């Protein structure tokens, strides 16, 4: 079986998914993901050229909410759960890049 | 030597002026204490789910009317996946391949600028970068995040790359602003962040049909920055291309202080947003009923107003544009026109365009506080010949400042001109009687001397009438007697 | 004693809710150390709630009935962990809609049950807090991901429990533990407050010791929720009563009854159940749904893709675990690596890949199209049949550790249940006898969308005929 997914691809995906995987994890995952993808790729055997994808199992459309304001959750309760907070805001380590 | 043209496309994000956020009932308000307008939904807490604000949909449909956009039968929300601390779910609920509107245009000074799409999405929170000297991200030690703004409804309006100069870009934004204001969907204040503009700039040899590589410019906080940044970037790219180098497709930031764009590329890889249809929201299928309701409740668009004024009042396009651009000024002018007895709408428009507008600019007042009927009275007084145009300027000034009726001012100051022909004829007769040889001398004189004599006559007549002679009538009488 | 009987007695004043609770807590004391059904037993809070019912508050259809909740449903002020280290100690500031409805009905929440981490698994071995054991044999798995809830009912800790089902996570553990478990029509029960795994597949549903009790619980939580855009309009359904299957057309799904990995005892039990229905007047035949063979493949692209996005919010910024880092991205990555278990990481990676540039069409896109084909197969089947029958799990309960080495082997536990989630239709598992070793076997009844009344009717008939 050819490599369905390479180690380099796995590293790239780990970056996209923000997972700091160890070398052992990366090695194991390359094999596991490859095997799973081999199995999952069976879906390509089916002819779907005239088939629309099902994104929603329900035939619902136009579900709205009236534009009415109401109070939110008290700040203290939310900030109490924060791993780090300062000046009533959530504190994070330095951000390296600008927002896309 | 190849000439290059600049090609510009603009992405405008407008915060919609709804009462509540896009997917939850938190208030949509500016400037609140940090993290006081949040709930499980806009904070993206585990287990929370979004529900779409019907007003945001209505506003998007209004914009579709204003920008002649097509509204497809069904549109879908999609997740734009990337990690950033101001995004509570680390994905933004936006629209991707099936936006709510597409394929429209905006007319800007006679040029048709294509609008590719206008779609709905939620705003992110705001981070402040701390510990460094500049407050910018690059020298900060840590950041603090406020999620009040997370979930505020945005409409992203993307233009086709049809814009050809920095000035045209500015005009496009001005026209777009005016339209969005007129239809009441956003207060579009760049300085408050309720309207944000990013510019995509590229250059290509004049006459070419292919697009050059573009750079996206962000951090444009005013129209001035927009113009300067586009000019700078176009020049920078022209320099590269002429020097045989290629333009890199990237995001650049406008550095206001340094007057240049700076590459924003970091060592991180390009974003792969992995868009897929948002499973927690169902599609939006605008019905004909919804669209009809939107059309019925829409205020008149600026372009429609301008066209109407030009057609009905006989004024110039530029003057119509100025009047329409000031919120409330058209209403004021229309009320004045409605109150006229003998004057013309064109006269009203001219006074509004010049003196009234100058007064509003000086005082910062809104047209809503002015009495349109007083302006109508002033115009009627001029039309009736009671006061001259020159006199009217001063009367209007006093009327505006003191909120007095022009008729009262004229009476109080005894400004009324004598326009009655028989009264003025009597004065003319008196003049000729006192200056027996005048007519013969006039007829014998050359052009230059005639002018002088004419001036003398008018001066004497005005003196005899205490300056209140209607100059037009006097001139007409003199013409009759001197020819 | 059934939940229905308890509620009736408490409402009539024949029994005190507090006494009912203490009976159940005694059973928890006796066996919980062995079974480990719970992440958190809420003895004090339950006592307070039972006392309130006895004072006359919330005396509704579930008055005084102890209920166990899978620990992926938000309970205000009470730790909700999804059996993950990344949410250890997190207390939601709000209740899930189903929890509100339970409380209003007078139910007494006894505890938060163990699950496979973030509902990803078929054995409850992926819990960060240790596995739950099958009450029938402590060396065996209870199934998953709602193993704790299934075990709680099987062990008599509570007559009712709620679980969630994305690929079989209610039905399969119900089968392995010998209890009733149902996944309703997608959209019938609000997902607001259910911590999401795969949004287009997740549904909350009931566990109970008998079909009528499961119906009672489902009726209580059923109905439109304005906080959930995917919730069906309409108020609570009555799920009917009775077991009359005369004239009903029952289709036995060929591909599932004939599949390779099916244990003979399971096949025999399903055939016997089909025969019993025939004897009771139903018209039983086989039906072919060829696309269902691709169900696992499609599911293991769609579910991880949605999960990879749903789990992105766990980044150490606003709540839960934080492992520090030099910059925020490193902090995110270190936090997630430390906080998530192996299976969760595997699925996040799988899902991210299936959505990534260049692969979306071949993987996620194709899987969603295959999903349409599966739906078409079922719709075609329902032209000829009123309900469908199949095994729930291809095997009875297996040994703890038996399938953990090979992820795919574990995924294949879901081969009979996953297609039902893909369609959004309802499905339930009903106990029907045991194998030679005395281990429970479950039979799966599947119905068209909103076909719960006929599904429950057939389930009752099977229950009545159960050996």
Question: Which chain C residues contact residue A43 at CB under 8 A?
Answer: 294, 297-298, 301, 363, 366-367, 370
Whether A30 has its CB under 8 Å from any CB of chain C: the answer is no
User: DSSP string covering B30-51, please?
Assistant: SSPSTT-S--TTTTT-TT----
Tokens 């579930």 sit at which residue? C62
| Shortest distance, CA C209 to any CA of chain B (angstroms) | 28
> Which residue from B300, B299, B406, B307 is spatially nearest to B351, judged by alpha carbons?
B406
- Candidates C91, C297, C418, partner chain A, best to mutate (most A CBs within 10 A): C297
Question: How is the beta sheet containing B251-255 ordered, strand by strand?
Answer: B101-108, B111-122, B153-159, B4-15, B195-205, B215-220, B251-255, B260-263
| Shortest distance, CA C81 to any CA of chain A (angstroms) | 13
Whether C294 has its CB under 8 Å from any CB of chain B: the answer is no
Instruction: Please give the Cα distance from B327 to B184 (Å, whole number).
Output: 11
Is C328 close to A21, i.e. CB distance below 8 A?
A: no
Condensed to tens digits (0 to 9), the pLDDT of residues B163-195 reads: 999 999 999 999 999 899 989 999 999 888 999
Average pLDDT for chain C: 97
What string of H, E and C letters represents the secondary structure of C396-451? Answer: CCCECCCCCCCHHHHHHHHCCCHHHHHHCCCEEEEEEEECCCCCEEEEEEECCCCC
Residue among B37, B56, B86 whose CB faces A99 most closely: B86
Question: Which chain C residues contact residue B85 at CB under 8 A?
Answer: 315, 317, 328
Instruction: Please give the Cα distance from C348 to C306 (Å, whole number).
Output: 9
Question: How is the beta sheet containing A89-93 ordered, strand by strand?
Answer: A85-86, A89-93, B142-146, B126-130
What subunits touch chain A, counting only 3 or more CB pairs under 8 A? Answer: B, C
Copy the structure tokens of residue B192.
């408050």
Residue A2's pLDDT is 52
Average of pLDDT values for C344-364? 95
Residue B384's pLDDT is 87
Whether B139 has its CB under 8 Å from any CB of chain C: the answer is no
Is B83 close to C226, i.e. CB distance below 8 A?
A: no
Residue A56 inside a domain? The answer is no
Give the list of residues 6+ apart from residue C156 with CB closer than 8 angstroms, or none.
C24, C27
Residue B267's pLDDT is 46
Report the half-sphere exposure of B362 (CA within 13 A, side-chain side).
9
Average of pLDDT values for B20-25? 98
Condensed to tens digits (0 to 9), the pLDDT of residues A34-78 reads: 999 999 988 988 999 999 999 888 889 999 999 999 998 999 999
Q: Which residue has the higher pLDDT, B462 or B279?
A: B279
* Burial of B29 per CB tally in 10 Å (0-12, 13-18, 19+): middle
> Which residue from C31, C102, C109, C12 is spatially nearest to C68, judged by alpha carbons?
C109
pLDDT at B1 over 70: no
Whether B128 has its CB under 8 Å from any CB of chain A: the answer is yes
User: DSSP string covering B132-177, please?
Assistant: SSSSSGGG-SEEEEE-TTTT-EEEEEEE-S-B-SHHHHHHHHHHHH
Residue B135's pLDDT is 81
Residues of A numbered 69-88 whose beta carbons fall under 8 angstroms of chain C's beta carbons: which are they? 73, 77-78, 81-84
Whether B312 has its CB under 8 Å from any CB of chain A: the answer is no
Tokens 């490193």 sit at which residue? C330
Average of pLDDT values for B371-399? 92
Average of pLDDT values for C269-277? 98
pLDDT at B467 over 80: no
Domain boundaries, chain B: 4-295, 300-413, 421-482
Question: Which chain C residues contact residue A20 at CB under 8 A?
Answer: 330, 333-334, 336-337
Q: Are B151 and B197 in contact (CB under 8 A)?
A: no
Average of pLDDT values for B267-293? 89
Q: Closest chain A residue to B147 measured between Cα atoms?
A: A89
Residue A50 inside a domain? The answer is no
Is A58 close to B282, i.e. CB distance below 8 A?
A: yes
> Of all residues in chain A, what percent carry a pLDDT higher than 90?
78
Q: Are C96 and C193 in contact (CB under 8 A)?
A: yes
Instruction: Please give the Cα distance from B130 to B143 (Å, whole number).
Output: 5
What subunits touch chain C, counting only 3 or more CB pairs under 8 A? Answer: A, B
* Residues of C annotated as part of the active site: 70, 145, 169
Is A65 close to C226, i.e. CB distance below 8 A?
A: yes
Q: Are B129 and B135 in contact (CB under 8 A)?
A: yes
| Shortest distance, CA A12 to any CA of chain B (angstroms) | 9
pLDDT at B266 over 60: no
Is B53 close to A56, i.e. CB distance below 8 A?
A: no
Q: Are C291 and A46 in contact (CB under 8 A)?
A: yes
Could you tell me the pLDDT band of residue B134, with boundaries at 50, 70 and 90?
confident
Average of pLDDT values for C80-107? 97
Average pLDDT for chain B: 92
Provide the pairing of β-strand B52-53 with C440-446: unpaired
Residue A1's pLDDT is 45
Residue among B35, B129, B274 whose CB faces A88 most closely: B35
Residue among C192, C312, C328 whose CB faces B47 most closely: C192
Whether A93 has its CB under 8 Å from any CB of chain C: the answer is yes
Question: Which chain B residues contact residue A63 at CB under 8 A?
Answer: 51-52, 281-282
Average of pLDDT values for C95-112? 98
Q: What angle do CA B67, B72, B77 make, to 5 degrees?
A: 100
Average of pLDDT values for C410-435? 96
Structural domain including A14 reads 7-45
| Shortest distance, CA A2 to any CA of chain C (angstroms) | 17
Residue among C194, C227, C356 whose CB faces B272 most closely: C356
CA distances from A74 to A4, B48, B147, C46, C226 (A): 49, 16, 13, 26, 22
Could you tell me the pLDDT band of residue C187, with boundaries at 50, 70 and 90?
very high
Residue among C192, C308, C312 whose CB faces B89 most closely: C312
Peptide bond between residue C145 and the one before it cis (omega within 30 degrees of 0): yes
Structural Rg of chain C based on CA atoms: 21
Instruction: Please give the Cα distance from B160 to C147 (Å, whole number).
Output: 55
Signed CA dihedral, B171, B173, B177, B183: sign only:
positive
Task: List, in sequence order, every residue forming a beta bridge with B202; answer none if it has no partner.
Answer: B7
Helix (H) or strand (E) holding B345: helix B345-351
The DSSP 8-state label assigned to residue C365 in this structure reads I
C342-355 vs A23-40: helix axis angle to the nearest 10?
60
Is A92 close to C328, i.e. CB distance below 8 A?
A: yes
Question: Which chain A residues contact residue C411 at CB under 8 A?
Answer: 36
Which ipTM score applies to this complex? 0.96
Residue A74 inside a domain? The answer is no
Residue C113's pLDDT is 98
Percentages helix, strand, coil for chain C (3-state, rounded to 5) are: 45, 15, 40
Copy the structure tokens of residue B146.
């406020």
Average of pLDDT values for C22-48? 98
Q: How many beta carbons lie within 10 A of that of residue B33, not counting itself?
A: 10
> Of all residues in chain C, what percent carry a pLDDT higher than 70?
99
Could you tell me the pLDDT band of residue B269, with boundaries at 50, 70 and 90?
low
| Shortest distance, CA B246 to any CA of chain C (angstroms) | 25
Is B40 close to A56, i.e. CB distance below 8 A?
A: no
* Burial of C121 per CB tally in 10 Å (0-12, 13-18, 19+): buried
Residue A31 inside a domain? The answer is yes
CATH number, position A24 = 1.10.20.60
Could you tell me the pLDDT band of residue C235, with boundaries at 50, 70 and 90?
low
Residue C193's pLDDT is 98
The Cα diameter of chain C in Å comes to 70
Whether A83 has its CB under 8 Å from any CB of chain B: the answer is no
Q: Are B196 and B13 in contact (CB under 8 A)?
A: yes
Whether A29 has its CB under 8 Å from any CB of chain C: the answer is yes
The DSSP 8-state label assigned to residue A41 in this structure reads G
Residue A15 inside a domain? The answer is yes
Q: Closest chain A residue to B44 measured between Cα atoms?
A: A78
| Shortest distance, CA A24 to any CA of chain B (angstroms) | 24
Task: List, in sequence order, every residue forming a beta bridge with C111; answer none if it has no partner.
Answer: C41, C68
Copy the structure tokens of residue C173.
């553990």
Hey, what domains does chain C have and what are their CATH numbers?
3-221 (3.90.1300.10)
> Which residue from C434, C428, C423 is spatially nearest to C466, judged by alpha carbons?
C434
* Burial of A71 per CB tally in 10 Å (0-12, 13-18, 19+): exposed
Give the list of residues 6+ apart from residue A76 with CB closer than 8 angstroms, or none.
none
* Burial of B268 per CB tally in 10 Å (0-12, 13-18, 19+): exposed
Residue B156's pLDDT is 98
Helix (H) or strand (E) holding B376: helix B372-383
Give the list of residues 6+ apart from residue B375 with CB closer than 8 angstroms, or none.
B332, B336, B348, B351, B352, B356, B396, B399
Residue A76 inside a domain? The answer is no
Residue B302's pLDDT is 80
* Burial of C436 per CB tally in 10 Å (0-12, 13-18, 19+): exposed
Q: How many beta carbons lie within 10 A of that of residue B342, not counting itself?
A: 10
């Amino acid at each position: 079986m050819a490599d369905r997914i390479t180690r380099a691809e796995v590293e790239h995906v780990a970056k996209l998914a923000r997972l700091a995987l160890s070398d052992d994890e990366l090695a194991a995952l390359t094999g596991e993901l490859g095997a799973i993808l081999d199995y999952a790729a069976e879906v390509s055997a089916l002819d779907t050229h005239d088939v629309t994808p099902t994104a929603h199992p329900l035939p619902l459309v136009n579900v709205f909410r009236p534009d009415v304001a109401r109070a939110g959750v008290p700040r203290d309760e939310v900030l109490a759960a924060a791993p780090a907070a300062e000046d009533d805001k959530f504190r994070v380590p330095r951000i390296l890049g600008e927002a896309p | 030597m190849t000439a290059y043209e600049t090609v510009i496309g603009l992405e405008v994000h407008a915060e919609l002026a709804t009462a509540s956020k896009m997917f939850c009932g938190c208030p949509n308000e500016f400037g609140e204490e940090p993290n006081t307008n949040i709930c499980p939904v806009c904070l993206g807490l585990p287990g929370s789910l979004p529900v779409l604000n019907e007003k945001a949909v209505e506003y998007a449909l209004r914009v579709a009317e204003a920008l002649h956009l097509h509204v497809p039968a069904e549109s879908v929300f999609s997740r734009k996946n990337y990690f950033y601390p101001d995004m509570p779910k680390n994905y933004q609920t936006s629209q991707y391949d099936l936006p709510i509107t597409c394929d429209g245009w905006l007319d800007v000074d006679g040029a048709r600028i294509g609008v590719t799409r206008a779609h709905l999405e939620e705003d992110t929170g705001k981070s402040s970068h701390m510990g460094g000297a500049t407050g910018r991200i690059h020298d900060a030690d840590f950041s603090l995040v406020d999620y009040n703004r997370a979930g505020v409804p945005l409409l992203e309006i993307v233009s086709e790359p049809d814009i050809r100069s920095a000035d045209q870009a500015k005009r496009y934004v001005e026209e777009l602003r005016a339209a969005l204001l007129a239809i009441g969907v956003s207060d579009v204040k760049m300085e408050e962040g309720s309207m944000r503009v990013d510019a995509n700039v590229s250059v290509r040899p004049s006459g070419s049909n292919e697009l050059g590589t573009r750079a996206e410019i962000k951090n444009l906080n005013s129209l001035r920055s927009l113009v300067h940044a586009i000019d700078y970037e176009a020049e920078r790219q022209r320099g590269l291309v002429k020097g045989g180098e290629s333009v890199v497709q990237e995001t650049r930031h406008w550095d206001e202080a340094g007057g240049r764009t700076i590459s924003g590329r970091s060592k991180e890889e390009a974003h792969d947003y992995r868009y897929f249809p948002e499973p927690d929201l169902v599609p939006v299928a605008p019905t004909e009923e919804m669209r009809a309701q939107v059309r019925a409740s829409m205020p008149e668009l600026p372009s429609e107003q301008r066209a109407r004024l030009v057609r009905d009042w006989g004024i110039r396009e530029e003057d119509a544009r100025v009047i329409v651009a000031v919120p409330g000024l058209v209403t004021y002018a229309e009320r004045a026109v409605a109150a006229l007895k003998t004057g013309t709408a064109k006269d009203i428009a001219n006074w509004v365009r010049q003196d009234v507008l100058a007064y509003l600019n000086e005082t910062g007042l809104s047209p809503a506080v002015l009495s349109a009927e007083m302006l109508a009275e002033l115009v009627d007084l001029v039309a009736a010949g009671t006061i001259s145009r020159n006199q009217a300027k001063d009367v209007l000034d006093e009327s505006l400042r003191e909120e007095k009726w022009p008729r009262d001012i004229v009476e109080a100051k005894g400004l009324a001109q004598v326009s009655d022909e028989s009264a003025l004829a009597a004065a003319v007769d008196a003049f000729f009687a006192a200056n027996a040889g005048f007519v013969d001398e006039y007829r014998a004189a050359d052009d230059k001397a005639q002018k002088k004599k004419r001036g003398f006559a008018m001066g004497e007549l005005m003196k005899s009438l205490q300056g209140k002679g209607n100059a037009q009538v006097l001139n007409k009488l003199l013409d009759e007697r001197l020819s | 004693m059934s939940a229905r009987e308890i509620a009736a007695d408490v409402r009539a004043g024949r029994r005190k809710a507090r006494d009912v609770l203490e009976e159940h807590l005694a059973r928890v004391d006796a066996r919980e150390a062995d079974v480990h059904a719970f992440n958190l037993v809420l003895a004090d809070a339950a006592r307070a709630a039972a006392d309130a019912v006895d004072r006359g508050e919330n005396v509704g259809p579930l008055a005084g009935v102890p209920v166990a909740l899978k620990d992926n449903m938000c309970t205000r002020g009470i730790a909700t962990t999804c059996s993950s280290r990344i949410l250890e100690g997190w207390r939601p500031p709000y209740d899930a809609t189903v929890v509100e409805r339970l409380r209003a009905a007078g139910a007494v929440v006894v505890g938060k049950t163990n699950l496979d981490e973030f509902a990803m698994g078929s054995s409850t071995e992926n819990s960060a807090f240790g596995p739950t054991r099958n009450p029938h044999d402590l060396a065996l798995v209870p199934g998953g991901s709602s193993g704790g809830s299934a075990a709680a009912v099987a062990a008599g800790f509570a007559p009712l429990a709620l679980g969630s089902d994305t690929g079989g996570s209610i039905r399969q553990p119900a089968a392995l533990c010998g209890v009733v478990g149902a996944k309703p029509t997608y959209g019938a029960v609000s997902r607001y407050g259910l911590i999401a795994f795969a949004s287009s597949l997740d549904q909350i549903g009931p566990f109970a010791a008998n079909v009528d009790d499961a119906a009672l619980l489902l009726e209580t939580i059923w109905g439109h929720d304005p906080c959930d855009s995917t919730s069906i309009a309409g108020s609570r359904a009555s799920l009917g009563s009775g077991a009359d299957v005369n004239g009903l057309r029952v289709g036995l799904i060929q591909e599932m009854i004939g599949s390779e990995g099916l244990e003979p005892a399971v096949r025999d039990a399903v055939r016997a159940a089909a025969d019993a229905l025939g004897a009771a007047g139903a018209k039983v035949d086989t039906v072919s749904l060829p696309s269902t063979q691709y169900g696992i493949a499609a599911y293991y692209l769609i579910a991880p893709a949605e999960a990879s996005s749903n789990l992105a919010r766990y980044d150490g910024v606003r709540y839960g675990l934080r492992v520090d880092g030099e910059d925020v991205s490193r902090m995110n990555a270190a936090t997630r690596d430390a906080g998530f278990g192996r299976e969760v990481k595997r699925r996040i990676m799988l899902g991210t890949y299936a959505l990534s540039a260049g692969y979306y069409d071949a993987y996620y896109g194709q899987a969603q199209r295959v999903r349409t084909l599966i739906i078409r197969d079922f719709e075609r089947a329902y032209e000829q049949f009123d309900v469908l029958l199949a095994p729930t799990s291809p095997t009875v309960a297996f040994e703890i550790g038996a399938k953990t080495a090979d992820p795919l082997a574990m995924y294949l536990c879901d081969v009979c249940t996953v297609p039902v989630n893909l369609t959004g239709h309802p499905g339930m598992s009903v106990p029907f006898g045991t194998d030679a070793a005395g281990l429970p076997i479950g039979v799966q009844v599947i119905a068209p969308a909103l076909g719960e009344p006929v599904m429950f009717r057939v389930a009752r008939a099977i229950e009545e005929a159960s050996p």
